[in-house]
Structure 1
Amino acid sequence: KKAEAYRDILKPKDVLITGDTVVVLGGKVLEKPRDEEDACRMLRALSGETHTVASAVAVTTLESGVQSTLDVCDVDVDELSDDFIKTYVASGSPMDKAGAYGVQDIMGLIGVTRLSGSFYTVMGMPTHCLHTLLMAVE
């Protein structure tokens, strides 16, 4: 959807890169939190659980159109204390991230115990997929 929204403004040599990420826990999609309370709720739900992160990336050119792919990883989260959750949410870091956490910040350093797949997929941009798409663009 993002790629199609910008297609009308592309020039002949432009390459548009777009992406989106969702976190899925127990069949429920966790997008970006609405507010701090929602972020705390998401982090409490993720605590001690395994969830799935799905990141899509699209490369769009006028000549090739939209080429896209999806990469998926499973992530294990350690038990998170209420103090950690409150401090982390108060930092503002989780407020613009799917599932209310960033694997590249303190949550990833001490909260994530294992991930299967690409760190960059969990971060929101599956770079190995992006590279493949870019190499295929004319």
Structure 2
Amino acid sequence: MTLVEEFKSRNFSIYGQWTGVICIILCFALGIANIFNFHWVILFSVICLVCAFIILFIEIPLLLRICPTSPKFDAFIRRFETNYMRAAIYGVMSLIQWLSIIAKVTSLIAAAVVLLFAGLFYALAGIKGQEFQSSKTLGGQGVAQMIV
């Protein structure tokens, strides 16, 4: 299945996964950009950076095979294999970034919005009863299993 065919499949978990990839880039960039604030918004910037790395391992399953990680971390990441669990983690991450407004209004709001969209895509996939489908382009559905 090509990337275009994946998007035409109307499976919201594919949309959620690709929105998650955008979240990785956005959280990393905004986390670094806001870490230079001399305010306690630095805490939210660090959390945003940590979220970027967690999402990286959640959305790109190939990395669990090729990166040396602990069994405890692997077990944590494997919890998010269903649409509802992914919607929950994205919802929590989005809520944390929305709470950054309490400290100071910064560009972390953009991360909160995109994280919210990713969570909504996964929630829609769960509500519609769509089975979780991982993109082949990102190392899912057999690609990760080929590397032993």
More strand by share: 1
Instruction: Give the TM-score range, shorter chain.
Output: under 0.3
Give the number of the structure with larger relative contact order, counting CA–CA contacts within 8 Å between residues 6 or more apart.
Answer: 2
TM-score (norm 1): 0.24
Larger radius of gyration: 1
